[in-house]
Structure 1
Amino acid sequence: MEKLKVLFVCLGNICRSPMAEAVLRARIAQEGLEERIAVDSAGTGDWHIGKPPHEGTQKILAGSGIGCAGMKARRMRSEDYAEFDYIVCMDSSNARDIRQWLPKEGPGKARVLQFMELLPERGFADVPDPYFTGDFGEVYELVEAGCRRLLDRLRHELGDTEQAQR
């Protein structure tokens, strides 16, 4: 069985998208779904390529017992559209950039969505960027809640309805 693949995307790939990658990866491991779901992250910009997650992201993840060792920022590639099933953008600017870059023709399968579509009851479209706000706690709370919802969606797509109802 082919894995479902999720790519989280933010601006620089050092704060929000690696946080979401690490959180979802941890939840997938807790449920033993590593053979069925793969996760990665990327940025729309190239300022931080090769750098580890922001210190604030590392600190909040470590405080929750979630590792991010070995993660390095990368920029979104055109091949990502064909490789991933979901491209989850952390804000509307990222989504707009991604939709402009998507190939107009040829192979492709990724469904592009904004992360906050997973949390419509919150009433806002964008995950705040803690690089500018400094509020990594707020972002972590949103990421945790949204990743739970995304994992439910992925389980359902995999046909694991018993797990998805938990």
Structure 2
Amino acid sequence: MIKILFVCHGNICRSPMAEFVMKKLVRDISSSAKHVTTNSALTATDFEIASAATSTEEIGNPVYPPARRMLASHGIDSSGKTARQMTVADYNHYDYIVLMDQNNLRNLRWILPRDIYERELAHPSKVSLLMDWAGKSRDVADPWYTGDFEATWRDVNEGCKAMLQSICK
């Protein structure tokens, strides 16, 4: 089982977009003759994918309507998803903790024990930034401030596709 947790500040825009895009990509592995990866033995049941926040600001709130509409315009349903905060148990459970930006990385210091946080900063083992998977050292565009959900959609797709290709080699 490959377990991925996507994390952003509030868990209502970027991280749920990444969660549902990645879920669609792994479903496509099972149903498409054109595999995203080179390992055709993997199916959607081989993955556990979720998302969470570093903050408590949006806990219990649904996916932000413009993010939900962007997903829906690409045939992706995000109904039922509500924001939750990441926990230490999540760090222990998931294989990959994928952050949307540098601020999310800094905010992990309030969630993870100090020794784990400092170890991840020095020698990342589980924690990464989504765009790093695509070979780009930058944050995922934040639509909360820009209103540009299309830019976020492009970043999330690029990062998720690159991540899936990499972990499924």
**1:97-116 aligned within 5 A:** 97-99=107-109, 101-103=111-113, 104=115, 111-116=126-131
Q: Displacement, 1:99? A: 4.9
> After TM superposition, what 4+ stretches of structure 1 lie above 6 angstroms from structure 2?
none
Question: Equivalent of 1:11, from 9, 12, 26?
Answer: 9
Counterpart position of 2:167:
154
**Letter matched to residue 137 of structure 1:** E
**Which string of whole-angstrom CA distances, capped at 9 and with x for unpartnered residues, describes residues 20-64 of structure 1?**
000000111111222211100000111111111111111110111
Counterpart position of 1:133:
146
Q: Output the aligned Cα RMSD.
A: 1.9
Alignment of 1:72 onto 2:82:
yes
Kept after mapping to 1: 8 A contact 2:22/2:49: yes
Normalised by the size of structure 1, how large is the TM-score?
0.84
Structure 2 stretches of 5 or more lacking a match?
31-42, 117-123
Q: Distance in 2 between matches of 1:110 and 1:100?
A: 18
Kept after mapping to 2: 8 A contact 1:83/1:110: no
**Which string of whole-angstrom CA distances, capped at 9 and with x for unpartnered residues, describes residues 73-98 of structure 1?**
10011111110000000000101222
**Letter matched to residue 138 of structure 1:** A
Q: Displacement, 1:154? A: 2.2
Structure 1 stretches of 5 or more lacking a match?
157-166
**Letter matched to residue 113 of structure 1:** S
Counterpart position of 1:27:
25
Alignment of 1:53 onto 2:53:
no
Q: Distance in 1 between matches of 2:166 and 2:108?
A: 22
Q: Displacement, 1:116? A: 1.4
Q: Distance in 2 between matches of 1:50 and 1:113?
A: 25
Ranked by relative contact order (alpha carbons within 8 Å, sequence separation 6 or more), the top structure is 2
